[in-house]
């Protein structure tokens, strides 16, 4: 399996994209499933679970031609995705190799994020629509293109929709279609104990900024928080594949993850939009980009 999410465990969390089947003598198609427990669901450097543990799992199919498709789900926090407890991702694409250069490969794909039951209209403090709750769902679609060489890879993802519901109706200064996420990943097999050194560096460039007047403070005055959500994120750690008795397909990992821009992700971006407040009536806020250790335990079937 080629994992693109280890804490996203993959927006990056344990989402797995299928690689070519090693043996396609019986069938050109291969189906796999995966399940994982993570101590914190980090996606692209930002906690999606309010720094709480959750369970994740998915099903993938792949064809010997390089085509792949899958469905993956994870628990998320309703404090971020208002009234949603689940994220469901649906994706498809094609993996290929470049014959002229050994170990050089490429991938193209489409990725869709869904949050059943969630909507910005359920955030009562968001009243840019003539005093009424505003906005739409958090549903987001991306296209992506990647290249890989041996144990290192790079990928660019481009949003075809607004970025998780960020638009003028939700207090931004324009559409966030065309937002770009760039990432560089490495999975280097170490010579000891079947360990793999995992490293990641990414950059999120959102194509609009938040308008302070769009999201008032608890007393109704314009917000005074950082309005630019762009950030860098990182991950470094170790993973280990192992078996328990005759049960194969197990994997455990320990990763140090986090992101920059505390002003936004420890401010408005880290706010609870689902009614959680402090004793003074202000929104409860967490630093969702905090650097911390994340542990994962999973199995592929």
Q: Where are the domains of the chain?
A: 2-300
> Which range has the worst mean pLDDT, 12-16, 121-125, 208-212, 229-233?
12-16
Q: How large is the average pLDDT for residues 200-229?
A: 77
- Rounded CA gap, 146 and 296, in Å? 25
Task: Match 């460039």 to its residue by tokens.
Answer: 205
Question: Smallest Cα–Cα separation from 298: which of 244, 232, 252, 264?
Answer: 252
pLDDT per position as a tens digit, 114-141: 999 999 988 877 665 555 567 889 999 9
Q: How large is the average pLDDT for residues 238-253?
A: 94
Domain 2-300 class?
A: mainly beta
32's enclosing H/E stretch is strand 29-38
Look up the pTM and report it.
0.87
Contact 204, 221 (CB under 8 A): no
pLDDT per position as a tens digit, 54-83: 999 999 999 999 999 999 999 999 999 999
27 three-class SS: coil
Instruction: Tell me how crowded residue 194 is: count the other CB atoms within 10 A of its CB.
Output: 11
Tokens at 98, concatenated: 């470049």
Between the CA of residue 172 and those of 167, 177, 261, what are the distances in Å?
5, 12, 18
Phi, psi of 269 (to 5 degrees): -65, -20
Between the CA of residue 173 and those of 128, 205, 207, 232, 262, what are the distances in Å?
12, 15, 10, 22, 21
Buried b (16+ CB within 10 A) or exposed e, 117-138: ebbbbbbeebebeeeebbbebb
Alpha helices, DSSP H, located in the chain: 262-265
């Amino acid at each position: 399996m080629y994992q693109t999410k280890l804490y996203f465990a993959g927006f990056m969390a344990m989402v797995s994209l299928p690689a070519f089947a090693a043996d396609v003598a019986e069938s050109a198609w291969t189906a796999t499933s995966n399940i994982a427990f993570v101590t914190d669901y980090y996606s692209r450097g930002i906690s999606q679970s309010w720094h709480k543990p959750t369970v994740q799992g998915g099903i993938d199919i792949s064809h010997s031609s390089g085509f792949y498709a899958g469905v993956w789900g994870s628990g998320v926090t309703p404090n971020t995705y208002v009234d949603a407890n689940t994220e469901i991702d649906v994706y498809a694409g094609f993996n290929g190799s470049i014959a002229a250069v050994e170990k050089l490969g490429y991938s193209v794909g489409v990725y869709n994020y869904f949050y059943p039951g969630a909507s910005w209209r359920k955030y009562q403090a968001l009243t840019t629509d003539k005093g009424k709750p505003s906005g739409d769902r958090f549903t987001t679609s991306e296209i992506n293109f990647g290249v890989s060489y041996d144990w290192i890879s790079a990928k660019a993802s481009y949003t075809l929709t607004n970025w998780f519901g960020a638009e003028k109706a939700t207090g931004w200064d324009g559409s966030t279609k065309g937002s770009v996420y760039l990432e560089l990943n490495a999975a280097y097999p170490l010579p000891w104990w079947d360990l793999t050194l995992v490293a990641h560096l990414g950059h999120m460039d959102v194509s609009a900024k938040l308008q302070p007047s769009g999201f008032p403070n608890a007393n109704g005055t314009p917000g005074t928080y950082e309005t630019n959500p762009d950030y860098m994120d990182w991950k470094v750690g170790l993973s280990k594949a192992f078996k328990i008795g005759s049960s194969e397909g197990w994997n455990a990992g320990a990763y140090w993850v986090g992101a920059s821009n505390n002003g936004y992700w420890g401010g408005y971006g880290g706010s609870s939009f689902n009614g959680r407040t402090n004793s003074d009536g202000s929104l409860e806020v967490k630093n969702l980009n905090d650097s911390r250790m994340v542990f994962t335990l999973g199995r592929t079937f």
